[in-house]
Amino acid sequence: MTFVDLDRARKALDNERTALVRQLKELGADERGVFTGEMEFEDAFADAGAATAERNETRTIIANLKTELDDIDAALEQMDKGTYGICVDCGEPIATARLEFRPNSTRCVSCKASAS
């Protein structure tokens, strides 16, 4: 049970998803967060140490983007199942304000806090 505008939320999720996939591509990763641009990366840097540091940083960014993407996919899946806005952990409704602020929320504030 939620009073969130589902059409609006889905649109926001779709937009965010598109943006994330584009960012992943720009970083040389595919949609699953798999880094595919390693060779190019190596060539782009003369200094191997700098290249490694840069690559690690990129991997971290990719991992973060992937986490966001997973959240979005999970939220979209919930929409399809009609359980959007319900915390996946405790089954309680997620606060509307939270969903509006972050449409990819799949956990309520307290479950999210204890998960991380």
* Closest by Cα among 61, 70, 81 to 105: 70
Check residue 5 and report its DSSP letter: -
Number of shown-chain residues binding Zn ion (CB under 5 A): 5
**Of the candidates 15, 90, 96, 97, which one interacts with Zn ion according to CB under 5 A?**
90
Nearer to Zn ion, 13 or 87 (CB): 87
**Which range of residues in 9-17, 36-44, 48-56, 82-90 is near Zn ion by CB under 5 A?**
82-90
State the burial class of residue 75 (Cβ atoms within 10 Å of its Cβ: 0-12, 13-18, 19+). buried
108 in contact with Zn ion (CB under 5 A): yes
Nearer to Zn ion, 69 or 105 (CB): 105
89 in contact with Zn ion (CB under 5 A): yes
Nearer to Zn ion, 53 or 90 (CB): 90
The dihedrals phi and psi of 71, each to the nearest 5 degrees, come to -60, -45
Residue 10 beta carbon to Zn ion: minimum distance, rounded to whole angstroms: 22
87 in contact with Zn ion (CB under 5 A): yes
> Longest C-alpha distance within the chain, in Å?
56
108: left (phi over 0), alpha (psi -120 to 50) or beta: beta
Residue 97 structure tokens: 């304000």
Contact set with Zn ion (CB under 5 A)? 87, 89-90, 108, 111
